[in-house]
Amino acid sequence: MSNFADPPGFSEWEASLPASFRADPIWRTPAYRFGVWLADLARKDFDRLRAERGYRNTAEQLLRAVEAISSNLAEGYGRSTGPERARYYDYAQATGRESRDWYFKAREVLGTDVVEQRLAVLERIIRILSAIVPRERRSGSRYRSKPRDEPMG
């Protein structure tokens, strides 16, 4: 689907999902796929952070932000016009940036390798949405054009 290789561990995770979940047209949207995967990873990170006394708030905020990425994309995908979709995709991009901030704050507990991997996925989501949001804002169509894979670069 993309000119870019999937992040390590993504393909195995994707193969474990029910076919009915992957059959929804939104699954063709790379930012959504990576957002759902990252939410699963964030639940594991939540458990590690929650166990550390000083990181309970960070754990809750991080999980809330990461889970909001794919949820906002799913809600926007169902909207009938480009500007409506763009609004929710913009929310997803903003929560991607917020998630990046929370992961940075959690680096002492989660470790550099885990945080760098999560940040790389978030950066990819943010870049994809940076291309999609302006395109959707310009689109007055009630119909969605064929989804494109992530932008080059």
Residue 38 has pLDDT above 70, yes or no: yes
In b/e form, how buried is each residue of 76-89, taking b as 16+ CB within 10 angstroms? Answer: bbebeebeebbbbb
Mean pLDDT of the chain: 89
Reported as a single tens digit per residue, the pLDDT across 20-31 is: 999 999 999 999
Q: Rounded CA gap, 68 and 58, in Å?
A: 15
Rounded to 5 degrees, φ, ψ at 79 are -80, 155
Cβ of 17: how many Cβ atoms within 10 Å?
A: 14
pLDDT band at 2 (very low <50, low <70, confident <90, very high): very low
Would 79 be classed as within a structural domain? yes
Question: Which domain does 86 fall in, by range?
Answer: 28-138
Looking at the 3D structure of the chain, how many domains does it have?
A: 1
Would 11 be classed as within a structural domain? no
Would 2 be classed as within a structural domain? no
Reported as a single tens digit per residue, the pLDDT across 93-145 is: 999 999 999 999 999 999 999 999 999 999 999 999 999 999 998 876 555 45
Would 9 be classed as within a structural domain? no
